[in-house]
Amino acid sequence: MRIHGAALALLAALAAACTTTTDDGDVSTSESGLNEVSTPRKGNTINSPSVDPTKTYWGARSLTILSNIGALTPEEVTLAKRADGITANAPPNGRLGIDELVELEKRSGTLFPSERAMLPKLWSLLEMAPATVLGATASLTEMARQNSYSVTKTQLPISKLTGDAKTVAQRIELSANSDGDPDTIAGIDVFNANSDSGSYLPGEIARFREIMIAIAAGAAPIPADAQKITVGVAPDAKTVLLDTPEVSFWQQDGLTPPTSLRLDQQATLRYEPVVHVKVKDGATKLVLINTESGSDWQAESGEYTNAGGAYVEVWKNGSRIVVAMPKVASTKLDIPYGHAIQLSSSTLTQSFVSTMFMQWGGTESRPSIPSGSYRFTKDPKARFDLFANGRAILTDGDGAVHECIPQATNYVVSRCDVGSGNVWYYISFSGNLGLASASSVALGELYPN
């Protein structure tokens, strides 16, 4: 177990198991109107001469646990069970409660002297003993941020093409050869050939798009973590909070990464320290109590994870030798849009909800747009970098950078400038020459960089 919420849920369930409810959901009382809940109560609310009004008491405790840890002698167990069933012969619930002890004291005339002498001991077990507070803290720190990334122009070996497309590519390279190598072809070469379309036959022009798609498919993808933030976690190793000959408390690894990272949302890392407790010998017993509900639980294995926020009693030979309350302080770190998160053990990359980003819209079967760098037919200075996880960055002709997220409405696959509302670019699955076109602005169609 690592999630603190799971521990609270378990203790809440135990609390439910230790009380009964009426049909309308209220906690029931005995036939004499006595409350049997375990919730802690202030001493000044308890009508008993044995109670210190300045202290706090658990509403009830499990007799089974008190017996298991050796806190009660057989005679005290018998008396505690008498208290549990003293209320107008009400059915016992296996817990020793405040109101039950108060009622038993009122009927002390039916107790033997030895039994009356045991009452202070029973009250002491309900008393919330002073606890040592163990502070468990941690921090998340941005160690480094990598914003820049590189893209390369794609020069596709013409030998990877076949049939008419190969022949057309070779013809294009006769007059539109950007790298001076007649055996390779780039997107800009096809773009220039299209600008000089009068030099080509209609059947040859019909192959331009096929060649563009092949160039895009051969491009080097831009990794999802090309932009990332390296996060440091402190402490990232075992940190001892309390160590005695009988028991040890320590803090270790409470980082909770997001279960999923969405491109259209800022990511948040959260660290809630995890507190472990473990006894060192078989004679030492471990009991945890929820400070809000008062429900108690014995860690029979002698070890418990996620003890943060609980009231922990350590018992040995029937004596309570350590009482501690681990207090956890969670921290968080917001990660900018689109960046991957580099942790010591793994890298988390943001993904998108829709699966349509890498598919063509409509009913027509078309190839997907591969990850890579693209230019625009109407503004060659503008660039569209599509990362492997579907996010993209559009750099316009003036050098302004716009973040892009996937969309899946009316074939629109990318919306840029997230959150600003100033400039919007829509990259749609359509176009005659390029792989897609930009709407809302006159950028034209995408072709491989």
- 204-226, pLDDT tens digit by residue? 999 998 898 899 889 888 888 88
- 409-434, pLDDT tens digit by residue? 433 345 565 444 444 555 655 556 66
Taking all residues of the chain, what is their mean pLDDT, rounded to a whole number?
A: 79
For 57-76, what is the mean pLDDT?
Answer: 96
Please check whether residues 368 and 289 belong to one and the same domain: no
Please check whether residues 364 and 327 belong to one and the same domain: no
Residue 177 — pLDDT band, cuts 50, 70, 90?
A: very high
Please check whether residues 311 and 412 belong to one and the same domain: no
Q: Which residue has the higher pLDDT, 188 or 439?
A: 188
Would strands 132-137 and 319-329 be described as parallel, antiparallel, or unpaired? parallel
Please check whether residues 115 and 139 belong to one and the same domain: no
What is the pLDDT at residue 32?
43
Please check whether residues 419 and 334 belong to one and the same domain: no
Please check whether residues 136 and 271 belong to one and the same domain: yes
Q: Which range of residues forms the domain containing residue 289? A: 132-144+226-348
Please check whether residues 360 and 290 belong to one and the same domain: no
What CA–CA distance (Å, rounded) separates 269 from 212?
41
- Radius of gyration, CA atoms only, the chain: 36
Question: 310 to each of 11, 183, 287, how far by Cα in Å?
Answer: 9, 71, 10
CA 256 to chain centre: 5
Q: Please check whether residue 173 lies inside any domain of the structure.
A: no
Count of structural domains, the chain:
3
The pTM of the whole model exceeds 0.75:
no
Q: Please check whether residue 88 lies inside any domain of the structure.
A: yes
Please check whether residues 328 and 406 belong to one and the same domain: no
For 282, other C-beta atoms within 10 Å of its C-beta total 7
What is the pLDDT at residue 98?
94
- 321-372, pLDDT tens digit by residue? 999 999 988 888 887 777 777 776 666 665 543 332 232 233 333 345 778 8
Helix pair 98-106, 74-84: axis angle to 10 deg = 90
Please check whether residues 334 and 406 belong to one and the same domain: no
- 259-305, pLDDT tens digit by residue? 555 555 566 777 888 899 999 999 999 999 999 999 999 999 999 98
